[in-house]
Structure 1
Amino acid sequence: MRGFRWETDGAGLVQPIEANTSGQPHIDLAVLRLNRETWTVSFRIVRSVAAATPIAPAATQKYGATDVWEWPVATIRVTSSTASGLPSIGAADVTTLDYHLAQPPMTGNSGRRSPAAWGAVWTDYDTTKTFVGHGGMWHLGGENGARTRIARPPDGQHPEGSSGSAVTGTSSSTARCSPPPERTGLPEPTSRFAPFPPRFGRPVT
């Protein structure tokens, strides 16, 4: 975590949960905590406030020399037990927060793509298409080529009106914006479209 390794053995670990005799449930946050003063990582439970509709506390993430940085691991719903004060926690009360690091973005030839790892990003340098890995397959996420780029119209030539503008594809690398069809029986528009930045997408047919 932030350059420091933390692990458990096959048996895992046991962390005590404080008694809850408030009469209302609370949702605690399990975290990995990096102590920036001692440079050690430990597993901790951050207690929340009991309420009729409880929410988990936010993780502390500070950079000071004596601060701590916490990485959320799970939330734990702790019901109230006024008799013994000991909480009864079942599997349904624990929600794992699955945060995973994906591999760095990759670039290569379209005919020699690497296996599609979950969350990986691949860009073809020959087709300029970008893919995202999901379910063991590459899925198109974007492309930059003929009939796909929408360019900003020259200053003073953007369409007017409040009903929008039509975008039509061309055989060149840009698309043209045409004003909306003439309207009859409606008041004159009072707004003007501002020039829009370039965007990428599929051609409009």
Structure 2
Amino acid sequence: MRRTINFLLLLLFIIPLLSSCMDEPITAKKITKDYYLVWVYDKSDQKVLKTTNEGKSGIVQIPETVFAVGFNENYIIAKRHPNLEEKISQNLFDSINEHGDYLIKNPSDTVYLSKDDKIYQENGKWYHTSNGWNPPDSLKPYKKITFYHIIDIKSKNGSSHVFLNESDYLKKRKELGIPKELNFTIIDKELQ
């Protein structure tokens, strides 16, 4: 009997903790039609989602970190900074050797390692031991790079275009006949 009471008390304590993990605070701002600007916990995760349930789930149309959006009845335009934290993390921690150490794929990424990490060469390849990783905030979003996006929302499939520079983006705008009056109206100055 006492064991059952202890078990029930333990369940009463654990269940609320587990349910709070499942209830992620999603923030969704409608852009137009079925498109939402969405983030969970952190605005640096801001992305454009095509959804039918008010931004709670859907298909990512523009990945993080979206910081400027404009739209009309035919197009959505957006600017975003990439997340280099994820890419560098994969470079540093993806491949492991038989000693449990990590292959260094790009030597320039070692600037992000802990000062306590050991770096060594074996069989012509460089490896590091990890004492944890605390990436700098400047990697997410990485503000030195800006991608430009155009989504054609008048077409059923919502064709999308991505540009690595403003010049190519402006050429495509002109080619598609997107009016000059379509500007970025939703701008997050903090993420810009």
TM range (shorter): under 0.3
TM-score, normalised with respect to structure 1: 0.21
Q: Highest CA radius of gyration, 1 or 2?
A: 1
TM-score, normalised with respect to structure 2: 0.21
Higher RCO structure, 1 or 2 (CA under 8 Å, sep 6+): 2
